[in-house]
Amino acid sequence: MKICYFAWVREKVGRSEDVLDVPGHVVTVGDLMQWLKTQGAEYEAAFAQAKVIRAALDRAHVKHDAAIGSAREVAFFPPVTGG
């Protein structure tokens, strides 16, 4: 699964994307963040405040309880600040 990071999430993880094999018990976007937190100090730091992080599945906004299903691309980022 391709996982993309933006803004300070990207800086804390230390790269802009990963391609990872995710275990079967990871069902929702929230599950994925909890699992990522166990994958190393950089992920632990990036997802320490998981509540404030926003997510997208295949480039559309979703809530943390959204099922990842067959999505090809998951993205994590801070609340947006454009305009």
Partner 1 sequence: MAVRVQEADFDIAAEMKLLTRGRTDIGAIATFTGLVRGGAEGGGIAEMTLEHYPGMTEDELARVEAEAQRRFDVQATLIIHRVGALKPGDNIVLVMAASRHRKAAFEAAEFLMDYLKTRAPFWKKEQKADGTAEWVDARESDTEAERRWSSGAR
Q: Does 23 bind partner 1 (CB under 8 A)?
A: no
Stretch that binds partner 1, among 2-10, 20-28, 31-39, 40-48 (CB under 8 A): 2-10
Q: Does 24 bind partner 1 (CB under 8 A)?
A: no
Q: Which of 7, 53, 13 is nearest to 29 (CA)?
A: 53
The residue from 1, 3, 6, 26 that contacts partner 1 (CB under 8 A) is: 6
Q: 27-66 mask for partner 1 (x: CB under 8 A)?
A: -----------------------------x--xxx-----
Cβ proximity to partner 1: between 25 and 63 the closer is 63
The helix/strand/coil state of 46 is: helix
- Distance CA(10)–CA(4), nearest Å, equals 8
Burial of 47 (0-12, 13-18, 19+ CB in 10 A): buried
- Decide: 56 and 62 in contact? Cβ < 8 Å: yes
The residues that touch partner 1, with contacts defined as CB under 8 A, are 4, 6-8, 56, 59-61, 75, 77-83
